[in-house]
């Protein structure tokens, strides 16, 4: 939509610092207009009442995104600094989210039954209404469509506030959707900053639900503001994922998975494997294997197929991540990396892949989300010690357990407080399976049938006097 004030939100390439372009910068007044338009579209009912239309449009959007992957992939790379392989995976995941939820659009329904007094109970699910989406920059397409696709399949109308660092690729994704048949009044977009545009969206009384992915601190503010008008809230927040490696595991495969998933998007991912907990008897060997693999990782041009780590999103964020490593109170030893990287010919915000070994229990670097290319490696003594270490953080988004002992795997997976626990694998996500966090990692779940139902209200209609 066109912003009333005529200001521009500009986008920059973090790998070079070059300006990429801009979009209209919205204000709180623009949010009011967008919500009013989305509310009117919902009340008209064309979208909310026609499941076949929703399914058809979501499938058409998926096909159009897939056809435009050659345009979207380089735009993702330029705006986020992530490597081109990850950008391709992001487009593929976004297409999959649309296609899966297109099938669910015709699922929304209820059930019926006879109650003890002879009356008939009918339960039906109806779409919530206007829903606000506030999304992050690290996976700008996938983390929009992961939540937006099930919400649209359920029949809501939407106002989207994307991250201010990645407006161009989100706008292009939406323009492709409009061209594929998504009604512009059903999905509105307002580009702007959180304290003004995001806050106005969360506080608007006609917005009945808010989905937010981002920091736990911001999530707490959103939850507080949304509570004033009793909104449904979906929060996927920070993470501090532990991978627990036992001596009986396939350690080479575990180390490979740990390193691969510690540095996805240069570690700027809430599910990144940031802590590796290793059984004491194999600690030295596993640490050496991790360090060798990390030192071999290549930091550089995100468009180069051989690059493993691209740029961090901004100078400010790079300084924050380096602060964890350079903290004079930090304990443990830096076994790899630890500094800013300066790839030849690039002036952007790069950092070396970093390994910190043996940090003290309770140290900031093992409790707080770093959100950068930093992994810690810690020894443990037995199952109970591993569980205590894995749970010694306020976060509870994801974790991994590596062992050949099935009984131990079940015990560990059930005892670790996280929304998702992988056994002998890590970071395999599916449109069919709900995901989300516990503790400071969030509220409610996205993906799967549960993700769709979150955007509905359950109504009980009771029929009296129908007894035979």
Residue 1 lies inside a defined structural domain of this protein: no
Q: Are residues 254 and 229 in the same domain?
A: no
Catalytic residue among 79, 90, 164, 236: 236
- Residues 63-116: tens digit of each pLDDT: 999 999 999 999 999 999 999 999 999 999 999 999 999 999 988 777 889 999
Residue 129 is part of a domain; what is its CATH number? 3.40.605.10
Residue 258 lies inside a defined structural domain of this protein: yes
Residue 468 has pLDDT above 80, yes or no: no
Residue 263 lies inside a defined structural domain of this protein: yes
- Dihedral angle of Cα 453, 428, 161, 198, to the nearest 10 degrees: 80
Q: Are residues 291 and 310 in the same domain?
A: yes
How many angstroms separate the CA atoms of 468 and 270, rounded? 57
Pairing outcome for strands 350-351 and 273-279: unpaired
Q: Are residues 325 and 369 in the same domain?
A: yes
Q: Are residues 271 and 333 in the same domain?
A: yes
CB atoms within 10 A of CB 417: 17
pLDDT value of residue 441? 97
- Residues 281-317: tens digit of each pLDDT: 999 999 999 999 999 999 999 999 999 999 999 999 9
Lowest mean pLDDT among 57-66, 103-112, 266-275: 103-112
Question: How many Å is the maximal CA-CA distance in the chain?
Answer: 83
Residue 372 is part of a domain; what is its CATH number? 3.40.309.10
Say if residues 393 and 369 touch (Cβ distance below 8 Å).
no
Q: Are residues 283 and 172 in the same domain?
A: no
Domains of the chain: total: 2
Q: Are residues 281 and 414 in the same domain?
A: yes
Residue 468 lies inside a defined structural domain of this protein: no
Residue 13 lies inside a defined structural domain of this protein: yes
Q: Are residues 280 and 322 in the same domain?
A: yes
Q: Which residue segment(s) compose the domain that 376 sits in? A: 241-423
Residue 192 lies inside a defined structural domain of this protein: yes
pLDDT value of residue 1? 57
For the question of residue 236 being annotated catalytic, the response is yes
Q: Are residues 136 and 270 in the same domain?
A: no
Catalytic residue among 86, 270, 369, 453: 270
Q: Are residues 298 and 344 in the same domain?
A: yes
Residue 429 lies inside a defined structural domain of this protein: no
Mean pLDDT along residues 319-329? 88
Q: Are residues 201 and 280 in the same domain?
A: no
Residue 33 lies inside a defined structural domain of this protein: yes
């Amino acid at each position: 939509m066109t912003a009333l004030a005529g200001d521009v939100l500009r986008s920059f390439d973090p790998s070079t610092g070059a300006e990429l372009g801009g979009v209209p910068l919205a204000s709180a007044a623009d949010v009011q207009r967008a919500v009013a338009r989305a509310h009117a579209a919902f009340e008209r009912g064309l979208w909310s009442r026609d499941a076949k239309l929703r399914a058809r449009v979501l499938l058409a959007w998926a096909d159009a995104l897939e056809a435009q992957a050659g345009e979207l992939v380089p735009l993702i790379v330029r705006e986020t600094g992530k490597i081109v392989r990850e950008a391709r995976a992001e487009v593929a995941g976004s297409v999959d989210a649309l296609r899966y939820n297109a099938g669910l659009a015709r699922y929304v329904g209820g059930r019926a039954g006879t109650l003890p007094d002879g009356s008939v109970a009918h339960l039906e699910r109806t779409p919530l209404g206007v829903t606000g989406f506030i999304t992050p920059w690290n996976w700008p397409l996938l983390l929009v469509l992961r939540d937006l696709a099930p919400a649209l399949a359920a029949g809501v109308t939407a106002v989207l506030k994307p991250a201010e660092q990645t407006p161009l690729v989100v706008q292009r994704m939406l323009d492709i959707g409009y061209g594929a048949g998504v009604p512009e009044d059903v999905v509105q977009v307002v580009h702007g900053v959180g304290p003004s545009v995001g806050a106005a969206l969360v506080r608007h009384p006609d917005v009945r639900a808010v989905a937010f992915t981002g920091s736990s601190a911001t999530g707490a503010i959103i939850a507080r503001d949304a509570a004033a008008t009793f909104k449904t809230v979906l929060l996927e927040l920070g993470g501090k994922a532990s991978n627990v490696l036992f001596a009986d595991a396939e350690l080479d495969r575990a180390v490979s998975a740990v390193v691969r998933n510690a540095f996805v998007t240069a570690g700027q991912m809430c599910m990144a494997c940031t802590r590796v907990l290793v059984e004491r008897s194999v600690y030295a060997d596993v640490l050496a294997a991790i360090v060798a693999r990390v030192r071999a990782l290549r930091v550089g041009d995100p468009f180069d197929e051989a690059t493993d780590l691209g740029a961090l999103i901004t100078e400010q964020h790079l300084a924050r991540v380096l602060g964890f490593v350079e903290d004079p109170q930090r304990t443990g030893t830096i076994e790899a990396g630890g500094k800013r990287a300066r790839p030849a010919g690039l002036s952007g915000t790069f950092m070396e892949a970093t390994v910190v070994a043996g940090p003290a229990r309770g140290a900031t670097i093992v409790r707080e989300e770093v959100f950068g290319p930093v992994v810690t490696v810690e020894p443990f003594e037995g199952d109970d010690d591993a569980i205590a270490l894995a749970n010694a953080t306020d976060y509870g988004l994801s974790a991994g357990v590596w062992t050949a002992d099935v009984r131990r795997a079940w015990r560990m997976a059930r005892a670790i407080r996280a929304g998702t626990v992988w056994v002998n694998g890590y970071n395999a996500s599916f449109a069919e399976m709900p995901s989300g966090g516990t503790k400071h990692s969030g509220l409610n779940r996205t993906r799967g049938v549960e993700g769709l139902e979150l955007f509905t209200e359950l109504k009980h209609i009771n029929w009296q006097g129908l007894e035979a």
